[in-house]
Structure 1
Amino acid sequence: MILTSLEVTTALAERRPVVALESTVLAHGLPRPRNLELGLAMEQAVRDGGAVPATVGVIAGVPQVGLSGAEIDRMANSDGVLKLSTRDLAIPIARQSDGATTVASTMWLACRAGVQVFATGGIGGVHRGEDHDISADLTELGRTQMLVVCAGAKSILDLPATREALETAGVLVVGYGTDEFPAFYARRSGLPVDARVDTAEEAAAIWRAHCNLGVPGAMLLCVPPPEEHALSSEDVDSAIAAALESARTEGVRGKEVTPYLLRAVAGHTGGRSLETNVALLLNNARVATEVAVALAAVR
């Protein structure tokens, strides 16, 4: 039922490095035309680093690991593309429609195709406030073996609660060049990681040991946003507070909360948070590629 592109299938068969990429950032995460520009740029960053990109999504009811350029364009420029967590995958399959995969569903599909490394922006987690809205990303991270390269959890979340939830789920959290859990737009959160690595080879060694032990669940490799693009914690907190108030006033709930808040934060920061988002996504793609190459080198 899962269609893997010929390029990705060949690379996996030859044990060459492959990096999975999500499609929600194309359909819901960034404004047009930046979404398409970024999606293609992330694929190119993976190629430039010596790996094969595998953008994941559902096209006309078919879950695919490795979208073509035309399919990436379709995902970025079509209206009404569903946002899919793992539980939602059956809906577009049954209805033969398109769907963009989140962190959770990208992991699930990529793992079944045999891909081990996945680059994203920030994971979902525990939302702020009293609604107890918890992202399904946390569930999938606790049960699916995948090395997920990210900039921590999105700053709009309750980061201490999210970090605690990751520990409860048994997710190994490793800092890449940092002792702190990054805060997506900001480089520091004040929250610790479980271990620090400073090279792709160190990260690959820990992941290899994790898999050899048969430990379930993911390893988060947390990369701070590039320093020249990172925002200060004060600017981020101010923008998020204003965005949360707007969301409450407008009654935004469920799957719409995260994209709404990201757009609102971009508005409150004069577009600076959007540039940070783009920069960290590209940087994470590069780091993920380095780790995938390091993994492939020792097989």
Structure 2
Amino acid sequence: MIVTDVNIQLGAEVKAALATGQPVVALESTIVSHGLPRPDNLRVAREIEQVVRDNGAVPATIGMVGGRLVAGLDDEALTRLAVGENVAKLSVRDLAVAAALGVDGATTVASTSAIAAAAGIGVFATGGLGGVHREAAQTFDESADLTTLSQTPIVVVCAGVKSILDVGATLERLETLGVAVAGYRTDRFPGFFIRDSGFGVDWRVDTPEQIAAAMRAQRDQGVHRGALVVANPLPQDEQLDQDLHDRTLAEGLAIVERDGVTGKRVTPVLLSHFHAATQGRSLAVNVRIILRNAALAAQIAVAAGSQ
């Protein structure tokens, strides 16, 4: 590994790819350390990287190891973040303090986007974005993903936001912050576990080449510095059953209200309920989402490199 001029270490393969103009896809590490149960987390992390390779790009999983930011974790470092007991969850605001303390840390959508863009990586695959929480009018609870994406020129391939969030408010905030949102082969904004959150999108793109053309246009225009969010829904037959989803969400929201759960505790409580109530089916959907998004992100990176 080497240190770049922005003090980010690059894995050897990522360094070579960036130097020679090969397509690279950024991947987050929070899904590895905090999003999936052990021991499945490490296996799925490796599968995600392999899907990127299978679609013609180089994977750059991003994280912090011993206080050092790394874009392109090797398997030893990936394993360290997957099995470690005290791996911190790092958003952008946490990076400097975490580095000073020499911690191991997994990067969120916000921090992965910022680090990737700083390292010269233009495409990022994740599961779903953070957003505005349902009780945000009282708690002001809103993910740092949104403000970071407003300042970060990167394409983010995701499955929308989880339906446990306030989807409508999240889309309004993205619009206010100047973050472009396009549906991939759809006019509807996906709700992570389900392909239609009930809200539409302003733009539709149907090929990786169209997305790559938008990347080039943004760069050439020099006007917009925010992200392009590509919302990639699961096929109908791979989403969580709609009735099961709606019932589970209603039950979870009732539990949150009954138990007085507020703030940052709401999301993990609701996700834990989804996992238990669906007998693991929501987790299987989660894995399908990130694998599909990794494939599309690699195809976009390849298309961008060929234009």
For residues 115 and 221 of structure 1, the distance between their equivalents in structure 2, rounded to whole angstroms, comes to 16
**Which stretch shows the higher mean deviation, 266-275 or 245-254?**
245-254
Indicate if the aligned counterparts of 2:139 and 2:263 stay in contact, CA closer than 8 A.
no
Q: Which amino acid aligns with 1:178?
A: T
Q: Structure 1 195/101 Cα, relative in aligned 2: closer, same or farther at 3 Å?
A: same
Aligned with residue 91 of structure 1, among 90, 93, 97: 97
Aligned residues: 298
Q: How much has 1:243 moved relative to structure 2? A: 2.6
Q: How much has 1:38 moved relative to structure 2? A: 1.0
For residues 250 and 39 of structure 1, the distance between their equivalents in structure 2, rounded to whole angstroms, comes to 34
Q: How much has 1:73 moved relative to structure 2? A: 1.1
Q: Which amino acid aligns with 1:8?
A: V
Indicate if the aligned counterparts of 1:138 and 1:166 stay in contact, CA closer than 8 A.
yes
Q: Structure 1 260/33 Cα, relative in aligned 2: closer, same or farther at 3 Å?
A: farther
Q: Structure 1 297/220 Cα, relative in aligned 2: closer, same or farther at 3 Å?
A: same
Q: Structure 1 200/245 Cα, relative in aligned 2: closer, same or farther at 3 Å?
A: same
Aligned with residue 168 of structure 2, among 151, 160, 173: 160
Indicate if the aligned counterparts of 2:125 and 2:157 stay in contact, CA closer than 8 A.
yes
Aligned with residue 43 of structure 2, among 19, 26, 37: 37
Q: How much has 1:247 moved relative to structure 2? A: 4.2
Q: How much has 1:256 moved relative to structure 2? A: 4.8
Q: How much has 1:48 moved relative to structure 2? A: 0.8
For residues 263 and 29 of structure 1, the distance between their equivalents in structure 2, rounded to whole angstroms, comes to 11
Indicate if the aligned counterparts of 1:108 and 1:140 stay in contact, CA closer than 8 A.
yes
Q: How much has 1:285 moved relative to structure 2? A: 0.2
Q: Mind listing any 5+ residue stretches in structure 2 that lack a counterpart?
A: 1-6
Q: How much has 1:242 moved relative to structure 2? A: 2.5
The answer to whether the aligner puts 1:239 opposite 2:245 as a matched pair is no
For residues 62 and 219 of structure 2, the distance between their equivalents in structure 1, rounded to whole angstroms, comes to 23
The answer to whether the aligner puts 1:269 opposite 2:278 as a matched pair is yes
Aligned with residue 138 of structure 1, among 134, 146, 162: 146
- State the partner residue of 1:286: 295
- State the partner residue of 2:188: 180
Q: How much has 1:252 moved relative to structure 2? A: 5.1
Q: How much has 1:290 moved relative to structure 2? A: 0.4
Q: Mind listing any 5+ residue stretches in structure 1 that lack a counterpart?
A: none
Give the percent of matched residue pairs that are identical in Structure 1 and Structure 2: 51
The answer to whether the aligner puts 1:63 opposite 2:69 as a matched pair is yes
Indicate if the aligned counterparts of 2:141 and 2:264 stay in contact, CA closer than 8 A.
no
Q: Could you report, residue by residue, the CA deviation over 1:214-262 in whole angstroms, capped at 9, with x for unpaired residues? A: 2111000110023322024432232223233444555655555434432
For residues 165 and 198 of structure 2, the distance between their equivalents in structure 1, rounded to whole angstroms, comes to 15
The answer to whether the aligner puts 1:2 opposite 2:2 as a matched pair is no
Q: Which amino acid aligns with 2:184?
A: Y
Indicate if the aligned counterparts of 1:226 and 1:283 stay in contact, CA closer than 8 A.
no
Indicate if the aligned counterparts of 2:9 and 2:68 stay in contact, CA closer than 8 A.
yes
- State the partner residue of 1:297: 306
TM-score by length of 1: 0.95
For residues 242 and 98 of structure 2, the distance between their equivalents in structure 1, rounded to whole angstroms, comes to 39
Q: How much has 1:63 moved relative to structure 2? A: 0.7
Q: How much has 1:274 moved relative to structure 2? A: 0.6
Q: Which runs of 4+ in 1 moved over 6 A?
A: none
Indicate if the aligned counterparts of 2:32 and 2:81 stay in contact, CA closer than 8 A.
yes
Q: How much has 1:57 moved relative to structure 2? A: 0.4
RMSD in angstroms over aligned alpha carbons?
Answer: 1.5
**Which stretch shows the higher mean deviation, 288-297 or 207-216?**
207-216
For the residue of structure 1 that corresponds to 2:160, the secondary structure is coil
The answer to whether the aligner puts 1:78 opposite 2:87 as a matched pair is no
Indicate if the aligned counterparts of 1:50 and 1:293 stay in contact, CA closer than 8 A.
yes
For residues 89 and 121 of structure 1, the distance between their equivalents in structure 2, rounded to whole angstroms, comes to 22
